[in-house]
Structure 1
Amino acid sequence: MMALQQSLIQVLIQVILILCVSKDSRDRICISLQNSTENITEERVHERVSFAFNYPYDRLIMFAPVAFTYSCYRFVNSTDPLKVELLTLDDLKTWTSKIEIESELNTYEYEDIIKIVSKTFIEKIAEDPNFLLKIEWREFEKTIAELFEGLAFHVTLTPSSKDGGKDIILEIVKNGRPIKYIVEIKHWKSKQLVGQKSVKEFLKVICKEKRESGLFLSTYGFTSNAFEGLTELERKKIKFGDEQKIVTLCHTYLKVKSGIWTPLQDLQEVLYEQTF
């Protein structure tokens, strides 16, 4: 929980600094992180507003990983002249999605924010796999990209549209030779299973681009006939992973970032672990 709290603070500081610098703001800002697994009540918001007003601050930004009650939003609408913003994890996801499309940030600022937000998502998934349900597909692709980069792969995240049938390109150097793999990700909110057609299409991309192999990740798994018709050689070219693989990657990433584990010499082993 402490690591998650630190990541959320980093996200908030990045967001606030960029918003303020871009608007040349001189506001005195109070940041209040509510580290609770329950909805934040109006009483708690009132307490923080009183503190910020009396300090005095110009703006109060409260962050809650879960949510605020409806009465909180009603209350902050009457807190002039103090500006109060209530943010949840969903708000941060929306914000990062928006800046990818219409941001005035430079590339490095944007990438730093995405990395911090992705790390937060990784920690949440490792803590509770059900958090996968709360992540939109593009945020999930960015999270998987951060996972592999943290495990020492060279990572290229393809555009959100016209990606050529692959979402991520991974590169490693093995025995002095560069080797590239591709990753396709299916993260459907409908919990739909990936079928035979999608598997065949991904296999065609692997062969067409002459990749070493490919990893097909499906959050909710595959249909019973998804692998029918694949030859022994084709099964060597494509590996499959589901929620269990994703959670394992998250735990491995956190071990690496905490310094208690280092990536193996053979990154292919990391890529293929717990696949089928």
Structure 2
Amino acid sequence: MPDRQVERAVQLLDELERNREMSAVDVEHAVYGVLTAAGYAVSTPSPGRPDIGIDMEFQGRINGEPERVGVEVKSHRGKVSGQTIYKAMDAMRATGLDRILIVALGGYSNLALERAGIERLGKVDLLDIPDLRSWLQRHETFDEPETKSVRQILRHAMRELALRLAVEPTEIYDVEWRDMERLLGEVFQRLGFTTHVTPSAKDGGIDVHLVDPEGRAFIVEVKHWLSKVGTGAVKRLVEVTARKGARSGLLLATGGFADVIFDGLIEVKAPVRLGDANKIVSLCQAFYRAETQLWQPDNSLEDLLLAETLALSDPPIVPTI
């Protein structure tokens, strides 16, 4: 956005946060002004049209794709209920919109957040005023695209792939193996790790090297295969993790793991964890939440990285995707 548009949008957002006595109509006008100041062409329902749960509509590029977005503004200071989410979904279907953006001054109940969860990723965005600030910074109007370097284009493409897998997990097998490594590099970077994706040749058994804000190192090895991973790959990661002095190693295998690896390594006491396609999708869904400002991790990055994975002493896992 141009500087003057940014300044005007910020002023309106400040007013929304500061003035708790604004009427419902004034709040809607302020949100309309914010979106207009941000460069969106916003339209409102014509007078006399039945209220179907949409206060205004605009077009924009959401995650790189042009979409029609409906906006519902909840001006009361109480938390939005779960029923509001169902009504928003009904309104989206009735009007042919691509997405619903709900802006609530009072936040959202746990049930509302749950109902707008994984099964509706990419359809409903729940934002309060601070979230709306971040949302505007992340999404674009229909301006002419800027000239970008090849590296920038590749990074953008990998982020798009991660967002796609978050909502369509079964397409994970359509991703090329090298793109999977790059994709996960973008995911880890967005979640808060300092990330280095190693060159494909002579990577030394490390596909992605991570460092968390506390300075702890983690090693991620990615086996994006249809077949199951055997003992050799696990042993190599155990050795590399020990040699590099990493806090933990994570082996992600899209096709899962052969039963025999647990027979041969069950007594190994090494900080190595195993994850399958479900773990990769879970990471992409965490990335989605971080990108849309609907979620920030409550636990440490280490907990986020190793959640839903197995130690070598655990039973084997079979992918469900």
- d(CA) in 2 for partners of 1:173, 1:156: 14
Query: In the aligned structure 2, how far is the partner of 1:229 from the partner of 1:160?
Result: 28
CA distance in 2, matches of 1:5, 1:139: 23
- Matching of residue 133 in structure 1 with residue 176 in structure 2: no
1:269 aligned to which of 303, 307, 312: 303
Root-mean-square deviation over aligned CA pairs: 2.5
Q: Answer whether contact 1:182 1:213 (CA < 8 A) is retained.
A: yes
- How far apart are residue 173 of structure 1 and its match? 2.8
How many residues were matched structurally?
A: 173
Cα distance in 1, alignment partners of residues 217 and 205 from structure 2 = 15
Change (3 A) 1:198 1:266: same
SS at structure 2 position matched to 1:264 = coil
TM-score by length of 1: 0.58
Per the alignment, residue 79 of structure 2 pairs with none
**1:199–1:227: 8 Å Cα contact kept in structure 2?**
no
Q: Which has the higher helix share?
A: 1
Task: Find the aligned partners of 1:124 and 1:251 in 2 and give their Cα distance.
Answer: 9
- Give identity over the alignment, percent: 32
SS at match of 1:181: strand
Shift of 1:8: 4.2
Long gaps (5+) in structure 2 = 1-59, 67-146, 311-321
Contact 2:205–2:221 (CA<8 Å) still a contact in 1?
yes
User: In structure 2, which of residues 237, 244, 262 is the aligned counterpart of residue 209 of structure 1?
Assistant: 244
Given the alignment, which residue of 206, 209, 220 partners 2:255?
A: 220
For residue 287 of structure 2, what is the aligned residue in structure 1?
253
Structure 2 counterpart of 1:181 = 218
Any unmatched runs of 5+ in structure 1? Answer: 11-105
Deviating beyond 6 angstroms after TM superposition, the runs of 4 or more aligned structure 1 residues are: none
Q: Name the counterpart of 1:198.
A: 233
1:131-152 deviation per Cα after TM superposition (whole angstroms, max 9, x unaligned) = 1111111111000101111101
The answer to whether the 8 Å contact 2:192/2:213 transfers is no
Residues 217 and 247 in structure 2, CA contact (< 8 A), matched pair in contact too: yes
Q: Alignment partner of 2:212: what SS? A: strand
* 2:258 counterpart SS class: coil
Task: Give matches, 1:165-176, under 5 Å.
Answer: 165-174=205-214
Kindly indicate whether the alpha-carbon contact (under 8 Å) linking 2:228 and 2:257 is maintained by their aligned counterparts in 1.
yes
2:279 aligned counterpart, secondary structure: helix
Task: Judge conservation of contact 1:196–1:228 (CA < 8 Å) in 2.
Answer: no
CA–CA distance in 1 between the matches of 2:224 and 2:283? 16
